Structure 1
Amino acid sequence: MTQHSPSAPGAPPQGGKPVVTDKDAGRIAFAAFVGTALEWYDYFLFGTAAAIVFNRLYFTTLNPTAATLAAFATFGVGFVARPVGAVIFGWVGDRIGRRPALLITVVMIGVATGLIGVLPDYAAIGIAAPILLALLRLLQGIAVGGEWGGAVTLAVEHAPPERRGRYAVLPQIGSPVGTLLSSGAFSLVLMMPADTFDSWGWRLPFLAAFPLLVVAVYIRRKVEESPLFDELLQQDDRAKVPAVDVFRQAWGRLIVAIASAFLGVGGFYIMTTFAISYGSDTLGVERSVMVNATLVAAVAQIVVLIVVGRISDRLGPGRVTLWGGVATAICALPIFMLIDTRSPLLIILAVSAGVCVLSVAYAVSGALLTELFPAHLRYSGVALAYNIAGALSGFLPFVATALLDRTGGSSVAPVALLIGVSLITAVGGFYGERLRVKDNVVSA
């Protein structure tokens, strides 16, 4: 990374380097976590609703199978939109500031989610209903595409270099927390009578996004801009079109970053989205058992993320990613062997173990990806890498299902796929540790 002259705001007179403190780092990381948890709560709500209610209320002219496919296709729009959001908010974050980009993303997804809660169904406004639903999902995806990269960038750039792992992991915790909140919200409204749920009950979790948004904006407005971005601004060292420069100047780093993030996103989809389908449809296990397994796994994942984040400060995020990938590859076969037993207890144990072991690499994604890119390309580079990995990962459950059909329902297919994804991330961690950028900051 380019070393700047001693003129950053807040720098000590004799050193001239931006100063970062543990006190500020903890506060900023918590603000990043709150926003990220809201983002994932809103994002996961749509997936749940697509499975149980959107097919019946917004695609009523189709047969049940086609309606469900249409609902999930609308869900998939969000994945397509995420790289677009990475480009847009990468430009904002690298040109205008990390803070304004994160304020815009949290408002966008909060408003889009709340509006879904008041959107009339097909019976009320006809074809406009599914079209508006898809547009709101598109806005969600664009916002999520800019959220995570900015959250981890801001958390890392405010943190002392020797303690970045423990602070960068807080935005990561937003994912399991968002999963638990969205699942809990729908579990409550599903206790209503069926007619009440279909009429207005399902809307309540979406409408809850409005008060949650107020809290998130209040917290994020108190966040200061990154000291490294302030230095870039003063030195006028900003890229004109950051996303283009990432592909031109840092394409190798981008590939390593995508590989490093692949397991944390793709492996999670295999152990949750695919595992639920595999257990219920192929093995004949009750769907509630599979869903409960993912909820238990989300709780365990929070603990793993916190512990591994601290360990990474001693070992380095690249090494942790490498060994997390290797460990997941080794555990893939035993995990699916336990799922194949059809025992509810062993299934919960297997899914929890699978999510926990892949979370070793996921825990340090924020720290590693931010240190793979120089500050003037960081927001764009991190957002692009993570969301390209996410877009590719979105296809993994479909690939696993197709391979499952070709192999007669054998778990060999998902095992091989999980091993492949794990080894790709292990290679990413190996090279990522060697490509880490050292920022020009000092700890107070």
Structure 2
Amino acid sequence: MAADHLAPPVRQSDDPEYSANLRRATLASTAGSALEYYDFALYGLASALIFSKLFFSNLDPATALIASFATFGVGFVARPLGGLFFGTVGDRLGRRWVLVVTILLMGGASTLVGVLPTYEQIGVWAPILLVFLRLCQGFGAGAEQAGSTVLMAEYSPVKSRGFFASLPFIGIQAGTLLAAGVFAFLGGLPEEVLLGWAWRIPFLASSVLILIALFIRMKLRESPTFIELEQNDQISDRPFSEIFGGSLGSLLRGIGLRMAENGGSYMFNSLAVAYATGTIMVSKSIGPIAVAVASLIGMVSVPLAGWISDRVGRVPVYRFGAIVLLVLAFPGWYLISLGNPVLVIVVIAVAIGFGVNTMLGAQCALLPEMFGNKHRYLGVAISREFSAVIAGGLAGVLGAVLIKAYDGSWIPLAIYAFGLAAITFATTFITPETKGRDLTRLPDALVENRETKVAAR
């Protein structure tokens, strides 16, 4: 049932005086999204293509790939911890300063990866340091995207919240495109050059994105809904206890919605690239090209999905994205297994560009709208990051294990992808519609939806 009737006639963020702050919030969120996904796409592609040779050269190739993806997964272990910590801080002290701290922590760790010595230079300390930096990166990222999502939803005009909230996520596509473009270029270099020094350049380049994002965020003002909490003395002293005490249903739905979106993203961004290049022996440049094409599609499909969700609702749009991955699971992985470079590009581009990004476009407004104002940051952070561990964090490691255990068969990978999509598809049928919801409301959408049904009866 739509929640349009809950929206007030006028909201602060609809007022013309907020237009400058809305633009600033959009730029701040976009820059952070670009950095986060540049870093994560970069790390994911590096895990698939080169880290096994740089940091695990003492292992056989198949085991080294598992170890490489394991370090990638370690970052997802730190993300919920960062989400819990920074989410609590964001609900108690505000969104702005949390976003400044997380951009420094996340980007700084990525930059330092570019100066790490390899296994041949310092032995086992090389992967240990890599894991430490990956933990730091994950801890910062655990609240970065949640903060950007909440900030934009709280700043956006009510009637076009889906569209405006999705705009910063173009930064996700830009960051992923940039990382994929860099690796597509690096993939054409001689291996001794790539593994010698060239792999360091894209990580060191993270410092440029940090400076840009930091400059914008230092000028950012606090969101209008948090200001209202402060003015009404409604800020929760214990958002952590509050979220687990009364919002468990919303959290579980948020996690379920993210299984296909987050898991599918990393399956096709990283695992499919590793499978195509390492098992099917497609050229190393094909995977990054496919990811780049998907990102170009996403620059249109993400805001388009957000715009459509303002008209038909968040849940139907989200369900459509889940159906794309559900239908594509078996034929998609089969086509990748054929080793045709064009088919590899098409499958990855369709899966990410239309499946994952359609869900992402609707999710930008849906997740913040699901939670009440007193614990919104923490609720979105937990939903995003706990699902990131279960879905995205396991995708690379479990996928690499399946590739080794089943001698490169595509069928286990297809079953895995189908399972993630099925969970999200089912979750859309128990998720309340939130389009147009007033974000100054304190209860969760799920609670209000139940109360409305009881009152109607």
**TM-score > 0.5, shorter chain as reference:** yes
CA contact (8 A) 2:73 2:389 kept: no
Per-residue CA deviations over 1:303-337 (Å, capped at 9, x if unaligned) read 21121111111111122112322343234344345
Moved more, 114-123 or 231-240: 114-123
Return 15-24 or 422-431, whichever deviates more: 15-24
Equivalent residues, number = 428
Distance 1:256 1:37, change over 3 A: same
> Given the superposition, is the C-alpha separation of residues 119 and 86 from structure 1 closer, same or farther in structure 2, using an over 3 Å criterion?
same
- Which residue pairs with 2:429 in the alignment? 430
CA distance 1:110–1:406, shift in 2 (3 Å)? closer
Post-superposition CA distance 1:143-191 (Å, at most 9, x none): 1111010001000100111111112212322322222212223444556
Pairing partner for 1:141 from 128, 138, 145: 138
Does residue 367 (structure 1) correspond to residue 365 (structure 2)? The answer is yes
Amino acid at match of 1:72: F
Residues 333 and 189 of structure 1: is their aligned pair in 2 closer, same or farther, counting only changes over 3 Å?
A: closer
Q: Does 1:76 align with 2:73?
A: yes
Kindly provide the amino acid, as one letter, of the partner of residue 328 in structure 1: L
Change (3 A) 1:198 1:289: closer
Matched AA of 2:197: W
Question: Residue 11 of structure 1 aligns with which residue?
Answer: none
2:28 is aligned, of 4, 9, 31, to: 31
Distance 2:271 2:121 in 1: 35
Tell me the equivalent position of 2:394.
395
User: Structure 1's 124 and 336: CA in aligned 2 closer, same or farther, altered over 3 A?
Assistant: closer
Match of 1:269 among 266, 269, 280: 266
Q: Give the deviation of 1:211 after TM superposition.
A: 2.3
Structure 1 residues 213-292: aligned runs within 5 Å: 213-280=210-277, 283-292=280-289
8 Å Cα contact 2:75-2:138 kept in structure 1: yes
What CA deviation, in whole Å up to 9, does each residue of 1:69-94 have, x standing for no partner?
Answer: 44332222101111111101101111
In the alignment, the residues of structure 1 paired with residue 272 and residue 118 of structure 2 have an alpha-carbon distance, to the nearest angstrom, of 31
- Residue type at the aligned position of 2:229: L
Shift of residue 195, structure 1, vs aligned partner: 4.8
Q: How does 1:21-170 map to 2 (within 5 A)?
A: 21=15, 23=19, 24-59=21-56, 62=59, 66-122=63-119, 127-170=124-167
* Further displaced range: 77-86 or 394-403: 394-403
1:343 aligns with: 340
Partner of 1:302: 299
Moved more, 125-134 or 348-357: 125-134
The AA in structure 1 aligned to 2:373 is A
Deviation at 1:366, TM superposition (A): 1.5
Change (3 A) 1:438 1:214: same
What SS is found at the alignment partner of 1:256? Answer: helix
Alpha-carbon distance in structure 1 between the residues aligned to 2:10 and 2:360: 34
Can you list the C-alpha shifts for 1:356-410, whole angstroms capped at 9, x where unaligned?
3312112111211010101111111101101111111122355456667787866
Amino acid at match of 1:153: V
In structure 2, relative to structure 1, the CA distance for the partners of 1:292 and 1:378 (3 Å cut) is: same
Distance between the aligned counterparts of 1:379 and 1:142, measured in 2? 15
Match of 1:439?
439
- Residues 391-400 or 402-411, more deviating: 402-411
Q: Where does structure 1 lack aligned partners over 5 or more consecutive residues?
A: 1-14
Between the aligned partners of 2:68 and 2:404, the Cα distance in structure 1 is: 23
Deviations 1:224-248 (A, max 9, x none): 1011111112223222232332121
C-alpha RMSD of matched pairs (Å):
3.0
| Cα distance change on mapping 1:61 and 1:415 into 2, 3 Å | closer
Q: Does 1:381 align with 2:379?
A: yes
Contact 1:18 1:231 in 2 (8 A): no
**Unpaired runs of at least 5, structure 2:** 1-8, 442-457
Mean CA deviation greater in 29-38 or 239-248? 239-248
Q: What is the distance in 2 between the residues matched to 1:85 and 1:113?
A: 16
Q: In terms of mean alpha carbon deviation, does 93-102 or 130-139 score higher?
A: 130-139
Residue-by-residue CA offset, 1:171-228 (whole Å, 9 max, x unaligned): 3223222222122234445566655544433222222122221111111112110111
Distance 1:104 1:234, change over 3 A: same
Aligned to 2:4: none
The answer for the alignment partner of 2:308 in structure 1 is 311
Mapped partners of 1:58, 1:406: distance in 2: 23
Q: Tell me the distance in 2 between the aligned counterparts of 1:281 and 1:189.
A: 17
Match of 2:455?
Answer: none
Determine the structure 1 residue equivalent to 2:447: none
Contact 1:296 1:352 survives alignment (8 Å): yes
Counterpart secondary structure, 2:215: helix
Letter in 2 for 1:25: L
Distance of 2:191 and 2:411 partners within structure 1: 39
After TM superposition, give the deviation of residue 48 of structure 1 in Å: 3.2
How far off is 1:95 after superposition? 0.8
Shift of 1:21: 4.4
The structure-2 alpha-carbon separation of the partners of 1:52 and 1:19, relative to structure 1 and needing over 3 Å to count, comes to closer
Whichever residue aligns with residue 298 of structure 2, its letter is: Q
Answer with 404-413 or 327-336: which moved more.
404-413
Q: CA deviation at 1:51?
A: 4.2
**1:435 CA drift (Å):** 5.9
Moved more, 69-78 or 358-367: 69-78
User: Is the 2:66–2:400 contact (alpha carbons within 8 Å) kept by the matching residues of 1?
Assistant: no
